[in-house]
């Protein structure tokens, strides 16, 4: 990192311009997102645990779906978002892109863990097994390790610029796993059943179960947005702290 000083100041100006606007928007949106997330979660839990009927085959275990499906959905959506942000970071060097991907990763890892654990807890009573190595379950476990690898890469490399580039490349390479997860149940025989919502003939779920599921999916979505705003803001401030700290050290050591 031997950039001439004039280039550093130009870079940091460029870096400050957009994040400042982002912080303004985030501060305005954040309370609403948090409030809406709490509201939707409360309504979704009420519908899922109290209003939704048991399934004609699976009985009360169908309620596990209301955390399993939204978590699995968000795990994949979050990774797709990280891949998109990583591409933007690599190509256009947008100052917020790699920060957003970094901020999203722990959330995606959390959603993946929820989907895996609730899936095991659903599989044992219904399928008769906690886990099988079928294409869907295996590719989803790979997603979990991709998240862990991504987070570890950021921690392992000290120089933020180089860490960002390495992590972005990993995020992009790992993105091939997303269509594999999605279509695994169509391409190969799996123990996991095919998609219930995004389906040729429309959802295969009765309205009384579909509505609680959709509310929970919306709730997980808004929860993700609310937390992502906090996390990106924290990353922006942390970067500003680093820049300020560097700026204080440099005049002493240099000019």
Partner 1 sequence: MDQLSTYLAMGGYAAFVWPSYAFAALVMAGLALASRRALRHSARQLAALEAGDRGDRRARRAAPQDPSS
Partner 2 sequence: MTRKRRRLLTVVAGMSCLGVAVALMLNAYGDGLVFFYSPSELESHHVTPGQRLRIGGLVEENSVVRQSDGLTITFKVTDLSKTVPVSYRGIVPDLFREGQGVVAEGSLGADGVFMASNILAKHDEKYMPPEVAAALKKSGRWKDGAGPEGVTKP
**Residue numbers of the site for partner 2 (CB under 8 A)?**
53-58, 62, 65, 87, 90-92, 125-129, 132-135, 172-173, 175-176, 180, 187-191, 193-196, 199, 201-206, 208-210
Buried (b) or exposed (e) across 188-207, using 16+ Cβ within 10 A? eebbbeeeeeeeeeeeebee
Show the site string, 188-227: x = touches partner 1 by CB under 8 A, - = not. -----------------------------------x---x
Does 144 interact with partner 1 (rule: CB under 8 A)? no
Centre a 10 Å sphere on the Cβ of residue 136 and count the other Cβ atoms it contains: 22
Token readout for 239 is 């970067």
CB 104 within 8 A of CB 78: yes
- Could you say which residues in the range 95-124 bind partner 1, by CB under 8 A? 106-107, 110, 113-114, 117-118, 121-122, 124
Distance of closest approach, residue 135 Cβ to partner 2, in angstroms: 5
The number of beta carbons lying within 10 Å of the beta carbon of residue 153 is 19
Find the shortest distance in angstroms from Cβ 156 to partner 1: 19
| 3-state SS, residue 55 | strand
What does 166 bind: partner 2, partner 1, none (CB cut-off 5 to 8 Å by kind)? none
Give every CB contact of residue 172 below 8 A, 6+ residues apart in sequence: 83, 86, 87, 90
Residue 165 or 240 having the CB closest to partner 1: 240
Distances (CA, A) of 162 to 65, 158, 201: 40, 8, 47
Which residues sit at the interface with partner 1, rule CB under 8 A? 49, 54, 59-61, 63-64, 67-68, 71, 106-107, 110, 113-114, 117-118, 121-122, 124-125, 223, 227, 230-231, 233-235, 237-238, 240-241, 244-245, 248
């Amino acid at each position: 990192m031997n950039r001439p000083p004039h280039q550093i100041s130009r870079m940091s100006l460029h870096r400050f311009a957009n994040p400042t606007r982002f912080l303004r928007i985030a501060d305005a949106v954040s309370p609403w997102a948090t409030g809406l997330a709490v509201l939707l979660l409360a309504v979704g839990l009420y519908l899922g645990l109290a209003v939704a009927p048991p399934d004609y085959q699976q009985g009360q275990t169908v309620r596990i779906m209301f955390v399993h499906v939204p978590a699995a959905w968000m795990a994949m959506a979050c990774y797709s978002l990280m891949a998109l942000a990583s591409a933007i970071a690599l190509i256009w060097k947008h100052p917020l892109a790699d920060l957003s991907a970094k901020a999203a990763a722990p959330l995606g890892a959390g959603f993946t863990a929820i989907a895996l654990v609730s899936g095991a807890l659903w599989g044992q009573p219904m399928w008769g097994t906690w886990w099988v190595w079928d294409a869907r379950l295996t590719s989803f476990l790979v997603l979990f390790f991709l998240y862990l690898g991504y987070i570890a890469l950021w921690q392992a490399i000290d120089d933020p610029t180089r860490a960002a580039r390495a992590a972005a490349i990993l995020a992009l390479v790992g993105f091939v796993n997303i269509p594999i997860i999605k279509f695994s149940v169509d391409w190969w025989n799996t123990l996991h059943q095919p998609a219930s919502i995004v389906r040729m003939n429309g959802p295969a779920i009765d309205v009384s179960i579909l509505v609680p599921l959709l509310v929970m999916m919306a709730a997980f979505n808004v929860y993700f947005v609310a937390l992502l705003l906090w996390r990106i803001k924290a990353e922006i401030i942390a970067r500003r702290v680093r820049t300020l700290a560097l700026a204080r050290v440099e005049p002493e050591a240099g000019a």
